[in-house]
Structure 1
Amino acid sequence: MKKIIITGALGQIGTELVVKCRQLYGTENVLATDINEPEADSEVAQGPFQVLDVTDKDKMFKTVEEFGADTIMHMAALLSAVAEKRPMFAWELNMGGLMNALEAAREYNLQFFTPSSIGAFGSSTPKVNTPQVTIQRPSTMYGVNKVAGELLCQYYFEKFGVDTRSVRFPGLISYVKEPGGGTTDYAVEIYFEAVRKGEYKSFIDKGTYMDMMFMDDAIDAIIKLMEADGGKLIHRNAYNLSGMSIEPEMVKNAIQEYYPDFKLSYDVDPDRQSIADTWPDNIDVSCARAEWGFDPQYDLDKMTKTMLEAIENKEGVK
């Protein structure tokens, strides 16, 4: 990777991916794009940026050609809970944008990355130690998009020789940018509210296990996969990833090590809970470990300490 375009650069993953890639490959070699303009003082704005609607194929092709890209990291997408409220728009954005990005990769011979998700699984998928290759029958538009995306990426690899690579991300936890519209968002919100208010009301019920990962591990995984020897990749679209399997009470207990008076209550959102109930409790990541050395560094305790300290710094709490 020498000249990288990142779509959806103002999203939860994109924001931090842009910063890391610019550190590694040089600021001028990473073009951030999004449908919205970044705030002038944001880190994304401190380097090349272009407004890009990923559903505009001509604009995407022109952007790739003018920048001289050799890699596209396609992060633009509508997340799970929002996609359920706007399924037609989700299809147009998630699938239309993906097709345009894949066509650009084919036309200009680009290396290609786009994330899938544990949302690609469904209620008929084995919930414990979910295999890399297993039944995928999601019941959400987001999940349908992700399964279709995995298949499309594999098709473009086999049919056209496009170097497509992907992972199935779990819930991602970060202090840099607060999330919006994801089923796993409680696991970010709980840390912010612990610092701000000392209490949190979870929209996901106790005992609901879901896979999660600290954002630093997620960003490192993308780069490690993209730099890996393609000849060793068997399950390139898409690898199971996870840093930990947790439920809300576990997060509460971890926070209480630092905030003993922290209180957790529940006001379950039936829509997001019904989505979470179809996802695995924990997934098998052995293929990612074996094929390209996936090795997350954060467990729940280390992540909790890092999150709370960073949010305290952002909020000016001593």
Structure 2
Amino acid sequence: MTVRVGILGATGAVGQRFIQLLDGHPTFEIGALTASKASAGKTYKEAAKWRVSTPIPEDVAEIVVGRTDPADVPDDIDLLFSSLPSGVAAEVEPQFLEEGFVISSNSSNDRMAEDVPLTIPEINGDHLGLIEVQRDNRGWDGALIKNPNCSTITMVPTLAALDEFGLDRVHVTTLQAVSGAGYSGVTSMEIIDNAIPHIGGEEPKMETESRKLLGSFDGAELSMHGAEVNASCNRIPTLDGHLESVFVDLADDVTPEDARNAMENYPGIDLPSAPEQLIHVFGEDQPDRPQPRLDRDRENGMQISAGGITETPQGLKYNCLAHNTVRGAAGASVLNGELLVEEGWI
């Protein structure tokens, strides 16, 4: 089965990562690329200032970029991936949805909408049932699914693994790579020899998205998880890979060995882009791992790493890591697209 896909916002940093990840994909075939009016009408290689480490795929380089408008996207496109800035996406995505397109979106708008699935396939694939609620509420034939913020997706798989022990409270401090801000998001003069202890809007995203992802769907509505989540988000001068220090308060008494076993054995999912093992856990003999440079590319950048698991009076503390533009952005949307196909929504 071949599914023809388009990318909204294809020339940006995440759009380029989409193109890299979709090159040679067993199911998805790129059939449309959109960008701003300034790029429309140019071939992709002319429009995009390519910054990914691998070359532009030859079959993509000559595609003519269209406007980000439903009229510029062919009718035979089965699925759209969106990497638009959230302000643009909030205006444009509904136009595509009203025309019947299905969108797997990395953009942050509508992530917390009650009828929009916010999904990590290994964690809460059943939340796709919200699509029916969404269609009833909004009167469109399309479907919108979101992946979470790059910092949220780093932590939540580990929390999902520990939830069996009674997850009560989470405190997390992030050390986030500069690529999370986009190519021009943080200047070199700001970040070199420095750390920035604030990322606008990041902390509320982690605190709310985590509870939605871990919540339960009863077929009609979604209930948020009851855990309290507090986040402190910081930018550091690494290129890729978000490292996070997590403290969890648990209802049960849990040893580090219990936690390692729960994370290592947390089930994955059989989708083309999914890692064979969702969480790689470093043992107590490697307390200095994971590290961004050494561990962000595990399983093609789609695996979560965890380590440094130790006991606290209330529960546990540990570190976790994910590649923020792969697992935390384009790769997450691609995986959600694969889930949509697998579950028959496309």
**TM-score, normalised with respect to structure 1:** 0.42
Structure with more helix by fraction? 1
**TM-score, normalised with respect to structure 2:** 0.39
